[in-house]
Amino acid sequence: MKPASFIYRFLVTLAAVALASVIGWQLWVYYMESPWTRDGRVRADVVSLAPDVTGPVVQVFVHDNETVQTGEPLFQIDPARFTLALAQAKAALAQAEATVAKAHATMLNAQSNAQRYAALSNNAASAVSRDDATTTAREAQASYAAAQASLAAAQADLGVAELNLDRTTVRATVNGNVTNFSMKPGDYVAAGTPVIAIVDTDSLYVDGYLEETKLRNINVGDKATVELMQGGPPIQGHVAGIAAGIADSERIATSTLLADVNPTFTWVRLAARIPVRIALDKVPEGEKLVAGMTCTVSIQPGPRQNATAATADASP
Q: How far is C-alpha 303 from the chain's CA centre?
A: 33
Question: For the chain (length 316 residues), average pLDDT per consecutive 10?
Answer: 66 75 65 80 95 96 95 96 96 93 86 72 64 78 89 95 96 95 96 96 94 88 94 93 87 78 78 93 89 93 54 42
How does pLDDT run across 113-164, given as a tens digit for each residue? Answer: 777 666 665 665 666 676 667 788 888 888 889 999 999 999 999 999 999 9
Are 215 and 241 a contacting pair, CB within 8 Å?
no
Q: Is 21 exposed, middle or buried (0-12, 13-18, 19+ CB in 10 A)?
A: exposed
| Phi-psi domain of 55 (left: phi exceeds 0; alpha: psi -120 through 50; beta: other) | left
pLDDT by residue (tens digit) across 97-116?
999 998 888 888 887 777 76
This prediction's pTM: 0.74
